[in-house]
Structure 1
Amino acid sequence: MDILAKERKLLELEKQVEALGNNEAVNKLKSEIEKYKHNEMTKLTAWDRVLLARHQKRPTALDFINYMSPDFIELHGDRLYSDDKSIVGGIGSINGVPFTIVAQQKGKDLENNLERNFAMPHPEGYRKALRLMEQAEKFKRPIITIIDTPGAYPGIGAEERGQGHAIAQNLLKMSEFSVPIISVVIGEGGSGGALALGVANKVLMLENAIYSILSPEGYASILWKDASLAPKAAEVMKLTAYDLEEFEIIDGIIKEPLGGAHYDKRETFKRTKQAIITEYNKLRRLSGTELQYRRTSKIRKFGFFQRFNYDNLGGIKR
């Protein structure tokens, strides 16, 4: 039984118990349900975390922004083609500190998702993001990026308008900035579409977010020719926050309330805000040159692991 099935079962049980009223037997039953909830909601597989990262009720980037920065002013357009609504960006303050905030925005229902293109940016979205980040560099404002996308939009129009080039430009320019950059993966972090906002001094992830080169369905389709093996692929891909922290791909995990971020959004926002401020207070002491050096050095170390010594096996030492 996956996490969504468990969630539905728990909600149905809680609804039935509430209808029974309030007495000693009912209170004991509620206590047992809470124990079951704690046991089942803490033993999560990688696939469970994928489902939570995609949960329809999971808070979106604008939910986080509106909590952390009530004075946020959104800016629009890439000054070349159009305004891509799958990426929102602008200026806002957190605890009195002005930030440039750039985020990938999912919809809350089908209509809104269609408007936001399911948080799959076009090249003009990435160019808008870069325009705002270059403005932040000019005025020495720290940058926050919020990542939540299945990947960059793969349509013909996006390719014609330079999707690959737009992503590559973001990777290059972000590596050169001299201001602090903090990225937070709040849901899905899919492939280059996520990495285009992820070249940061500090990369944080919500506990049940995912960050990977490909969706589990895509991985299973390529490797085993069967998308239904996505749960197996999720385990193999090492895409959870705990896996990525162990590999030193990310720098920290923001714990979620029991059951996922959607169970207590305000607490999730509070923890995220605190994590961002904590990291910013460390980064603001560094010079622009040091920030740039640490950011690029961190990226260059990805993929380097201790070499295996074959001597003990009688093989060749590489």
Structure 2
Amino acid sequence: MSEVPLDARVRLLVKSLTPPLLWGALKSARARGVRSANEVEPAPEPSPPPVAEPPPEWEYVPEGWSRAATDERVKGWDVDAIAEAYRAKWPSYLEALRGPGPLGVYHEVVAGETVASLDHGAHTMLVSYAYVLALTARERQRVSILDWGGGSGHYLPLSRAVLPDVEIDYSCKDVPALVSLGRELFPEARFLEDDDEALSRPYDLVLASGSLQYSESWPDTLARLGEAAGSYLYVTRLPVALEEPSFVVLQRAYAYGYDTEYLGWVVNREELLREAAAARLELVREFLLQAWFTARGAPEQPVEHRGFLFRRTRT
């Protein structure tokens, strides 16, 4: 009888001490792991090419307003795509304002979405405006409003919904593409393209909602708006800096169907109040809004929005 090799005896001993199920698993794993001497290791799958990160919606622009002269994508607000997006959202915007529901209505939703009435941030913004409008309308049956940068007139049906018993004499100043749409939607209102024409008369309330920041020389615009304010000037949806000096950001607004990019200020709060005082505007009330954005590379972030109600001093 020939002698059993040592390695075979070791395997027999290990097998006798190993439970059958575990022994079978070990044999299977060993069989899968053993390759013949001639077998070639398969080449690894090539890595997929890296996906380029899309540019952010908001970005700091250190060179300021000169960016518009060098970047053809910075088209501003006078583009047909914005008017088309407003038109598409208009029926759901009007529907959201109907009835006794909450005023959580924000019309600048992502393209394809329906304007709803349950946006908490929008509720804060619109109820703040309702307070301003009611304050202006005290003991009045008719209120004249200049909506500076008012688009296609979103604040007109809102004003009528808030104060249904008060006649709203509504004027709106904006870019030609939006003025054209506004005239179509509200033929009874005044939609103006020219700054001087819009500011040629006084109004009970001058409203600049989400618009002052788009004036390159915003202090001059603020002063001119104040001159036209017979009772109140309400600047709202204004991005403010609390620590840093005023700076410029870029917004890429493609998600909203606008097909444009535009520049705007983040205005230092103290600077705003200094310029207002220089224009003989007294702060009546400041409003905190539930709206923030983060701009890549900005010296201060996140950036919050606030509202400021001014009245013109007579001294």
TM-score by length of 2: 0.28
Based on CA coordinates, which of the two structures has the bigger radius of gyration?
2
Structure having the higher helix fraction is 1
TM-score by length of 1: 0.28
Structure with more contact order per residue of length (Cα contacts < 8 Å, sep ≥ 6):
2
